[in-house]
Structure 1
Amino acid sequence: MAKVEELTPQQLSETDLKPRGRVYPSPISWRDQFLYQLVLDRFSDDNENQRELFDHTNLAKFQVKDKAGWMAAGTKFVGGTLRGIKSKLDYLQRLGVTTLWINPPWQQRSELEAYHSDRIQEFLDIDPHFGTRQDLRDLIDAAHDRRMYVILDVIYNQNADNWFHRNDVIAALARVYQYWIALSDCDGLRIDSLKHVSPEDSRKFCTAIREYAESIDKDNFLLTGEITSGSMAGAYIDIIARNFSAVLDIAQTPNELAAFAKGLVHPKQFFDLYSENNLAGEYRQIGTYHVSILDDYEMSFRTNKQRFAAYSNVPHLYEQVAHAVGVQLTMPGIPAIYYGTEQAFDGNEGYHDYSIEGRKFAEDRYIKEAMFGGAFGAFQTADCHFFDIDHPTYLRIAAIARIRNSHDKIGKALRRGHHYLRETSFFNSPFSIPGQGELVAWSQTLFDTEVLMVLNTNGLENRGAEVTVDTYMHPQDSTMTFLYKSDWSDSYLRHPPRDQTVAVQHHNDRRATVRIDLPPSGMAILA
């Protein structure tokens, strides 16, 4: 572990840009990564061994009696730390996560502003709520020891329109974050508040960061952020203009993904986002330039602040949540999940009690539940933690991520292959793209390898169909092997059997198919 200095520079001219210790190289392609976005204050305080594990089969056991106290706790610092994150690297790696995405550790905010402001009071030191500079470096070194990467959030400032009008200001901010790269050895930056910054000034900032990173042999340093463009085509053009690596795909995709996974829309409404008939679809197909989002800590793409699992009463909710992430893991792009999704957190504004607080205030607190418990636990609980490696959602995400992360042809096809939406037929109907609430299939292909995904978007009923596969990759009398089935036992989810196959049928019209049957919200992966 590298040792970093304890004293904070008092002015920018005192910052030392020489890397502290080793410099961990960038990944070859960020398409190979699986990102996990967490809110530092809400993730772990490293004291979970002093609390009981939440029991998802007994939701009332840890529910608070003092709801007013629970609500108030959500507006304050709760207690998560950098050391807490470090203590949970094993939990994250078991899930299949390869990259941590952490909100800024150097922010200092008053309690009521903790999650309701973009004001940064101190650029050059760690907020003491979260730990020390050494804690940050130790966390990143420990992640690198596991071949994991770390991305840090950067907030320009909500007054950026006033800040970014002189080159010296841009250069000064660039030096601040060059300093943090040197100190922490982080692998990328997610840049917030881009709507306040012109493409020209953003490009100058990003170019300065990229040039510094390349000078210390971080040759593929990730620079990403939201671009609130009216169309994703415009956003992708902005990637070049701003010298970005990729854009957070939040303009339309999260809501379309959620609606598709719940069977609320025709599947083409989601899959058309990847159509090569338009510029945005072409870029999504390539996968290099977009980070796939389901939920995040702002939920700016939703009318109300709410997670995917909010307000749901489907009997197989845990599977449904896992398979929404499963879609991300098996489509082009860089998948990113929001902490707590793997435990089916359901945070939403509906937890607000207006008889306690009569006005709408800090409603985003309810999507920033504490994983480690404390006074503001998820599901309106306190004093229990949620790091459950046996949770049905966790197990299924981990099983799918294991396939995606594998170093064989199958894993590479999932990460870098070409996407095809597949036609299906049920009850001898003509082959077509299925409708809302039906069994939907898609493939990722890479040269001579096809990986087939099948999802039952119906949350209440079983579905079965003949599913089209590539005729030339699957000759007569061949079989496809199940790599994942959501109704497998926990033991099989952890250690998949290798002998469950389905025969490929060839038809007179040269179509090749496999027969797939799935339970409500079920999913299968075959190759």
Structure 2
Amino acid sequence: MGNFKSLQEIDFKNLVKPDYFPSPQAWEDQVLYFLLLDRFSDGKEKEFIDNTGNVFISGTTPPFITENFENAIQNAADATNWNEAGNKFVGGTLKGLESKIGYLKRLGISAIWISPVFKQVKSLETFHGYGIQDFLEIEPRFGTTQDLIDVVKTAHDNGIYVILDIILNHSGDVFGYEKGQPDYQNGTIFPVQGFRDAAGSANLPFSAMDEDQFPDAGIWPSELQTLETFTRKGKIIHWDDSPEFLDGDFESLKDIHHGNGSTDNFHPSEALVALTKAYKYWIAVADIDGFRIDTVKHMETGATRYFASVIKEFTMAVGKENFYLIGEITGGRSRAFDTLEITGLDAALGIDDIPDKMEYMVKGYRNPSEYFSLFRNSELVHKDSHIWFRNKVVTLFDDHDQVRKGNNKARYCANDSGADSLIAVIGLNLTSLGIPCLYYGTEQAFDGEGGNDRYIREAMFGGAFGGFRSKNAHFFKENNTWYPEIAKIIDVRNKHIPLRRGRQYLRQISGNGTDFGFPVMFGDRMKSIVAWSRIFNDQEILCAFNTDPENELIAYVTIDGTLHTINSRMKCLYASGPSPVEVNVEVRNGKAVRLTIPPSGFVIYG
């Protein structure tokens, strides 16, 4: 299995199986977990709970303890080694991931989003997976095709779907220009020196390659080994200028030419046809449930529509009726919604306004209306309803890029006592509109301090680049402060359909029970209760958090006037700290209940 040099070698007729794992009925019911495969698990940990629920003791890497904090940077030389390790492959594997499916299941995760697993340019350290050299092979440092099949099978056996991160926009740095990597210059096509050999030198002819160059030289499958596969226009300098952002290279990653024509009359290139067939292969061989498509903004809408159409037809034909296509679409809500409507993608990855407003609202630095209006502004999304977001946007507050933070990249827990309010922001993510996604290590309160991409990509298994500036200690602890609470909130979410599919309303609050209004910032920081309702049919679930990290807060919160009777009670479904077991429905601002929330706390009532 695998080692295909050409797409012509793949016999889809015999490859397709009769019994693929069925798609979920509703993706908004799922909780996603995004992990960088190289940074998740190498399978060498000990003293963690394995997939069978037993403590696994035969590994070599012990669990992290307090004394391991910053043990990798005790002197200048060690600190340099730790820093440099963050720019290289550190050892995570598919087998390691398979060994932690139970860890994810017990957390409540129902879908895993895995960073690209495909073969990278051998001479480079693109551990993140976005520099593909062979679209039909697994990166050897991650494992084999059979390892991917095994991961998906184990996940499915535990009721977990698998979404692969894929790239259509570009390949890895598989060739060199004659005069080095040029900048984009008004659409100029630059002369190419040649394909790179296994050592990274661009000294091979830019044409079909001999089999003796397989697998480490040039690009594979062989259908991509033509000059016409690439735009050859140099790297993007102005990221919002058209057509530069469509035709330029992502730094040294080489832009692929997808075709020509308008969206409605798009003619796919041979390269796009080949890539689409390659990704059909991975669905067929590994039983994949969805794709997260990288850098959709940098693709023509006609190309994205072609890919989405072909993949949807194929997956429906094999019995995956709701195969999910999530696009990384930057540029704001309007662009995201228009792209979904035009291309047929299922959902957008919320990486612009959503993470910023989610993080800083919980920390008290954003007005709540700014976050909740992202889901309610009908004019901007061209719809009369504000509920389409329930399955059209994937929401998260930490990720592997954090473009929004510029040179100040760090995880949520890095500042403002983030670990103390971590449950509040996770509660918001899990119970507000959208398909929630947790970034790996969040459940261990990783801080990602350092200001650079590498520091928000810590290794869960320790190794040479462990979290909290540590080494050789793993982070698969299920009895920490956060893991059990996250599992409880997800359990509540699973039991109450309004938290997954309901309408959403930011609620007015009052300290005295008479004067109501939406919570707003006063001065530099808001210290307030923020509450919202999810309503489905005749059920209302009320969620709220406290932005004050030091004080318990009490406030009356407005609820729906038609769904509750006076003196009826709403029961506490979850509380991160001491809160009333029940609250009474009173006549205030229509109808309201009186919430008591501990410092940086989160509650759910229904």
Q: After TM superposition, is the score higher than 0.5?
A: yes
C-alpha separation in 1, matches of 2:68 and 2:380: 46
- Check 1:139–1:116 CA distance in 2 against 1; reply closer, same or farther (3 A cut): closer
Is 1:334 the counterpart of 2:435? The answer is yes
C-alpha separation in 2, matches of 1:294 and 1:73: 25
Matches within 5 A, 1:231-380: 231-280=332-381, 285-286=387-388, 287-304=390-407, 306-314=409-417, 317-350=418-451, 363-380=452-469
Is 1:164 the counterpart of 2:286? The answer is no
Deviations 1:191-216 (A, max 9, x none): 11223310011111111111111110
Matches within 5 A, 1:140-159: 140-158=152-170
- Check 1:260–1:144 CA distance in 2 against 1; reply closer, same or farther (3 A cut): same
Equivalent residues of 1:319, 1:396 under 8 A apart: no
Deviation of the 1:142 alpha carbon:
0.9
- 2:27 maps to which residue? 30
C-alpha separation in 1, matches of 2:123 and 2:472: 20
C-alpha separation in 1, matches of 2:378 and 2:257: 40
Equivalent residues of 2:413, 2:422 under 8 A apart: no
The amino acid across from 1:217 in the alignment is G
Equivalent residues of 2:258, 2:272 under 8 A apart: yes
- Check 1:488–1:46 CA distance in 2 against 1; reply closer, same or farther (3 A cut): farther
Is 1:94 the counterpart of 2:106? The answer is yes
C-alpha separation in 1, matches of 2:377 and 2:69: 49
Deviations 1:422-474 (A, max 9, x none): 11110345011122221111000111111000110122322110111223222
The amino acid across from 1:449 in the alignment is Q
Equivalent residues of 1:319, 1:392 under 8 A apart: no
Deviations 1:323-353 (A, max 9, x none): 2121111111111111011111111334xxx
C-alpha separation in 2, matches of 1:155 and 1:238: 17
C-alpha separation in 1, matches of 2:468 and 2:386: 35
- 2:570 maps to which residue? 480
User: Does the residue aligned with 2:82 lie in a helix, a strand or coil?
Assistant: helix
C-alpha separation in 2, matches of 1:474 and 1:308: 40
Matches within 5 A, 1:417-432: 417-428=502-513, 430-432=515-517
C-alpha separation in 2, matches of 1:222 and 1:337: 18
The amino acid across from 1:60 in the alignment is F
1:19 maps to which of 16, 27, 44: 16
Deviation of the 1:87 alpha carbon:
0.8
Deviation of the 1:306 alpha carbon:
2.5
1:415 maps to which of 500, 508, 511: 500
Equivalent residues of 1:42, 1:78 under 8 A apart: yes
- 1:60 maps to which residue? 69
C-alpha separation in 1, matches of 2:165 and 2:492: 29
Matches within 5 A, 1:103-118: 103-110=115-122, 113-115=125-127, 118=130
What is the TM-score of this pair, normalised by structure 1? Answer: 0.89
C-alpha separation in 1, matches of 2:531 and 2:108: 23
User: Does the residue aligned with 1:385 lie in a helix, a strand or coil?
Assistant: coil
- Check 1:224–1:116 CA distance in 2 against 1; reply closer, same or farther (3 A cut): closer
**Cα RMSD (Å):** 2.1
Q: What is the aligned-residue identity percentage? A: 39
1:75 maps to which of 67, 87, 97: 87
C-alpha separation in 2, matches of 1:51 and 1:187: 32
- 1:174 maps to which residue? 276
Equivalent residues of 2:326, 2:346 under 8 A apart: yes
- 2:597 maps to which residue? 518
C-alpha separation in 1, matches of 2:416 and 2:336: 36
- 1:132 maps to which residue? 144
Instruction: Report which structure shows greater RCO (CA 8 Å, sep ≥6).
Output: 1
C-alpha separation in 1, matches of 2:546 and 2:577: 12
Equivalent residues of 2:155, 2:162 under 8 A apart: yes
C-alpha separation in 2, matches of 1:313 and 1:421: 24
Deviations 1:292-322 (A, max 9, x none): 12111121232236344254142xx334122
Equivalent residues of 2:413, 2:419 under 8 A apart: no
The amino acid across from 2:374 in the alignment is L
The amino acid across from 1:476 in the alignment is I
Q: Which runs of 5+ in 2 are unaligned?
A: 47-59, 171-229, 232-246, 248-255, 260-267, 521-525
User: Does the residue aligned with 1:278 lie in a helix, a strand or coil?
Assistant: helix
C-alpha separation in 2, matches of 1:249 and 1:52: 36
| Higher alpha-carbon deviation: 417-426 or 290-299 | 290-299
User: Does the residue aligned with 1:85 lie in a helix, a strand or coil?
Assistant: helix
Equivalent residues of 1:273, 1:280 under 8 A apart: no
C-alpha separation in 1, matches of 2:338 and 2:375: 17
- Check 1:129–1:122 CA distance in 2 against 1; reply closer, same or farther (3 A cut): same
Deviation of the 1:9 alpha carbon:
1.6
User: Does the residue aligned with 1:451 lie in a helix, a strand or coil?
Assistant: strand
C-alpha separation in 2, matches of 1:8 and 1:21: 24
C-alpha separation in 2, matches of 1:218 and 1:414: 26
C-alpha separation in 2, matches of 1:375 and 1:52: 14
Equivalent residues of 1:19, 1:185 under 8 A apart: no
C-alpha separation in 1, matches of 2:105 and 2:154: 12
Count of residue pairs brought into register by the alignment: 491
Deviation of the 1:183 alpha carbon:
0.6
Q: Which runs of 5+ in 1 are unaligned?
A: 351-362, 490-498
- Check 1:33–1:484 CA distance in 2 against 1; reply closer, same or farther (3 A cut): same
Equivalent residues of 1:225, 1:248 under 8 A apart: yes
Equivalent residues of 2:564, 2:585 under 8 A apart: yes
C-alpha separation in 1, matches of 2:578 and 2:479: 14
C-alpha separation in 2, matches of 1:115 and 1:129: 9
C-alpha separation in 1, matches of 2:162 and 2:129: 24
Deviation of the 1:154 alpha carbon:
0.6
C-alpha separation in 2, matches of 1:404 and 1:222: 21
Equivalent residues of 2:68, 2:473 under 8 A apart: no
Deviation of the 1:63 alpha carbon:
4.5
C-alpha separation in 2, matches of 1:397 and 1:117: 28
C-alpha separation in 1, matches of 2:85 and 2:565: 61
C-alpha separation in 1, matches of 2:569 and 2:297: 51
C-alpha separation in 2, matches of 1:83 and 1:305: 34
Is 1:469 the counterpart of 2:559? The answer is yes
Matches within 5 A, 1:479-518: 479-487=569-577, 500-507=581-588, 511-518=590-597
| Higher alpha-carbon deviation: 515-524 or 20-29 | 20-29
Equivalent residues of 2:498, 2:539 under 8 A apart: yes
Equivalent residues of 1:460, 1:521 under 8 A apart: yes
C-alpha separation in 1, matches of 2:491 and 2:67: 29
- Check 1:272–1:58 CA distance in 2 against 1; reply closer, same or farther (3 A cut): farther
Deviations 1:72-128 (A, max 9, x none): 111111111111111111111111110000011113244753247843111111111
User: Does the residue aligned with 1:125 lie in a helix, a strand or coil?
Assistant: strand
- 1:443 maps to which residue? 533
Deviations 1:220-240 (A, max 9, x none): 1111111223x3122211112
User: Does the residue aligned with 2:419 lie in a helix, a strand or coil?
Assistant: helix
